[in-house]
Structure 1
Amino acid sequence: MIIRRAASADIPRLRQFRTDAAAWLSARGNDQWSTTYPDELLLASVQAGDVYLVHQDPATDPVATVTLDRRADPVLWTEAEAKEPAFYVHKLTLATPGRGNGLGAQLLDWCSDHAARAGATWLRLDAWTTNTRLHTYYERLGFRHVRTVDAPDAFGSGWVGQRPARRAGKALSELGNQGK
């Protein structure tokens, strides 16, 4: 598996990840990601080097994407929490969600390893407030629910969780970090 930074040319595929995930969620009665993500924010994340694409091999289409940055959303995280060394996971999306093949967990472990190697104490994320299946999934993967923020500025994604950033074993570090 190869994890590489996204480029501006990948933006149509990144948009498609979100559209496909929203349709998959909608078919299950969940309105997560039903609104369009602003193109200017997506482009800014890509240009900052915070968006990654996952490929099975260099010749295949991406199978997942994740955004990983150090910016604490002040709506979700307290001022004291924002001062702690942490990385924040956003928009983790699989090309074929719900397959149960462990790709999401593997990608979160890669994020945790990336964060730990950069000196972070925490790997943090937020989730759609009403997506209780996703909350349970994250808790199974070691994330502790910190709080749920019920504020319009949270845009429906007010469930926040964290787990300690930790280095992964050798197998995960060998996944590949193209374009690091």
Structure 2
Amino acid sequence: MEFVQSTEKDLGIIFGLYDDAVVFQKTVSNKHWKQFDREMVITEIKEGRQWKIIDNGGVACIFVVAYSDPFIWGERGHGKAIYIHRIVTNPSFRGGNYVKAIVAWASQHAKETGNTYIRMDTWGDNARLIEYYTSCGFNFLGVFAPDDISQLPKHYSDITLAFFEMEVK
């Protein structure tokens, strides 16, 4: 298993996995992601924040790292933290415990970048993911509405989010 920064050559894979995620989300919830802006993803790639996990020669999982998150976390986002967003596991690799691998990687990455916390969010009514993320070592902080959705993807309209935090040791 290898963590590698995504490149623009990965855009087809990234957007294909986003589409796969939406199909899955629709089978388990009435909430799902809307189409992501291509330029936003290209910017994330250029900034070195879009990552992929290569396992057995294939892209098993993708995710995005942010080093601030004022629109979602607002004042609750105090302290130095990295934020993990848009984790998508390739359907062919489900069951590979990639979130736990991301947590281990993120702990090391947070230390290397001088951060104290790892933070995540998911839809506020997603009991299954709330339970799973706490089983991965995150503290569940509660359910909140994003502070400012003006700069966020469309699926953040009229929602609440479950917030998670883990102190890096």
TM (norm. structure 2) is 0.84
Q: 2:65 aligns with which of 62, 65, 68?
A: 68
Residue-pair matches, total:
161
Q: Is the 8 A contact 1:8 1:46 kept in 2?
A: yes
What corresponds to 2:165 in structure 1? 162
Q: Give the Cα–Cα distance (whole angstroms) in 1 for the partners of residues 41 and 70 of structure 2.
A: 16
Q: Aligned runs of 1:91-110 on 2, under 5 Å?
A: 91-96=86-91, 99-110=94-105
**1:44, distance to aligned residue in structure 2 (A):** 1.0
Change (3 A) 1:29 1:74: closer
Q: 2:110 aligns with which of 101, 112, 115?
A: 115
The one-letter code matched in structure 2 to 1:18 is: Y
What corresponds to 1:49 in structure 2? 48
**1:98, distance to aligned residue in structure 2 (A):** 8.8
Q: 2:141 aligns with which of 128, 143, 146?
A: 146
Which is worse superposed, 137-146 or 94-103? 94-103
The one-letter code matched in structure 1 to 2:128 is: R
What corresponds to 1:9 in structure 2? 9
Higher helix share: 2
The one-letter code matched in structure 2 to 1:135 is: I
Q: Give the Cα–Cα distance (whole angstroms) in 1 for the partners of residues 68 and 61 of structure 2.
A: 22
TM (norm. structure 1) is 0.80
Q: String of CA shifts for 1:72-129, please: whole Å, max 9, x gaps.
A: 23332316x34x1111101111102894332221122211221123221100011122
**1:157, distance to aligned residue in structure 2 (A):** 5.9
Percent identity of equivalent pairs: 18
Unaligned runs of 5+ in 1: 167-180
Q: Give the Cα–Cα distance (whole angstroms) in 2 for the partners of residues 54 and 162 of structure 1.
A: 22
Q: Select the structure with the greater relative contact order (CA < 8 A; seq sep ≥ 6).
A: 1
